Amino acid sequence: MENFAGSLSRLTGESTLLYQEIARNVERTKGIKTINFGIGQPDLPTPQRIREEAKLALDKGFTAYTPALGLDELRSKIAEFLTQRYGDQIRKEEVAVTPGAKTALFLAFLMYVNPGDEVILFDPSFYSYAEVVNLLGGKPVYVPLSFDENSGFSVDMDELVSKITPRTKMIVYNNPHNPTGMNFNDKLARELVEIAREKRLILLSDEIYDYFVYDGGFRSVLQEAWRDNVIYINGFSKTFSMTGWRLGYIVAKREVINKVGILASNIYTCPTSFAQRGALASFDTFDEVRRMIDLFKRRRDVMFSELKSLKGIRVYKSSGAFYMFPDVSEILKTTGMDSKALAVKIIEEGGVVTIPGEVFPEKVGRNFLRLSFALDEEKIKEGVSRMKMALEKLTG
């Protein structure tokens, strides 16, 4: 039973969920209610219109298989929506609906990454990218992001190009960015698409946080000449607060989507039927989405203001997603801890969950903590206050 496939040994298994479990243990043993800055999902319920549509589908017995690529109506709606938003004529045949954006990412890696292939990732980046590349026998190659307290995180394009070798198969781009909360400038999307075209690489673009933009504009890779080199990933989890519904989608040229259909039919058959019916209603809820984004912008401002008051922390005011990624290197130096140990101590001493930057490979994140501001403003204030007391205790 324990003679597992060798590929499993390449996975670390570490994720943000580990620190949620530590918090639950602290609640049980110490009897305190923790405040969770580790959560990666909106705290608002799925809009009622979406829930009602899914319930109606259930009541009508819409519970059978759907096509492997998703409901035709939903694929058409996604294509129509993206066409209106970005100005390119995207067709239904260029869209595949998946059980979550993570599944969409997995399928994209599975289609292209062979053992020994290199995949360029930003450092830090969402941990699943490297995990899947390792699972498939590929090699993650990291391009470090530079940090500036005033301007945030940036990419050295010369360094990125220098990392491209004959074994490079793909570049992974995530914007707005998890974990840094960075909304990268328009120029970066254009440059990455151009590099992918020139070097004959795949650009995998994860834009799941595309509506969580607080400063500046947002430019999608779909606004570039994308069809020959780009795999676009998005979903319903963040924008419509539908994390548990597990619905994502891929946009790529028709030949790629046909391959997605083959994989889908062999791996999961199809996305959940009634969840897709609910998702059809999501495009009528953008008034609620805009209110949510306004709320999150206020929460961001509160968290930034509170974190700025803490000694030993340097923090950039996030321009996208719903994360702050403060530099705690001074505290680490004073305490002799790494970011994992610090995160555990903040849970144990303050009852506050943060995520150590080491979870987000490879090296840059070691001096940072990730905090989500997807929770009530008063809890944000209380949580940072608790952090302050815990840090003062740790640093003397």
Two structure tokens written together for 105: 């990412």
Two structure tokens written together for 153: 């995180």
CATH 3.90.1150.10 matches 6-45+287-395:
yes
Predicted confidence band of residue 213 (pLDDT cuts 50, 70, 90): very high
pLDDT of residue 20: 85
22/42 Cα distance (integer angstroms) = 21
Query: Taking phi first (over 0 means left), then psi (-120 to 50 degrees means alpha), and beta for anything else, what does residue 141 get?
Result: beta
* pLDDT averaged over every residue in the chain: 96
Q: Could you tell me how far CA 3 lies from the centroid of its own chain? A: 33
Outline which parts of the chain fall under CATH 3.90.1150.10: 6-45+287-395
| pLDDT higher than 80, residue 17 | no
Please name the residues in contact with 69: beta carbons below 8 A apart, sequence gap of 6 or more: 75, 95, 96, 97, 257, 260, 261, 264
pLDDT of residue 53: 98
Q: Are 370 and 153 in contact, with CB atoms under 8 Å apart?
A: no
pLDDT in tens, 218-251: 999 999 999 999 999 999 999 999 999 999 999 9
67/77 Cα distance (integer angstroms) = 16
Architecture label for domain 48-284: 3-Layer(aba) Sandwich (3.40)
| pLDDT higher than 70, residue 14 | no
151/147 Cα distance (integer angstroms) = 8
Neighbours of 280 (CB within 10 A): 18
The number of helix segments (H) and strand segments (E) in the chain equals 13, 13
- pTM metric for this prediction: 0.95
Concatenated DSSP letters of 162-203 = HT--TTEEEEEEESS-TTT-----HHHHHHHHHHHHHHT-EE
The pLDDT of 306-333, averaged and rounded, is 97
172/202 Cα distance (integer angstroms) = 8
Outline which parts of the chain fall under CATH 3.40.640.10: 48-284
Which helix (H) or strand (E) is 323 found in, with range?
Answer: strand 323-324
Predicted confidence band of residue 101 (pLDDT cuts 50, 70, 90): very high
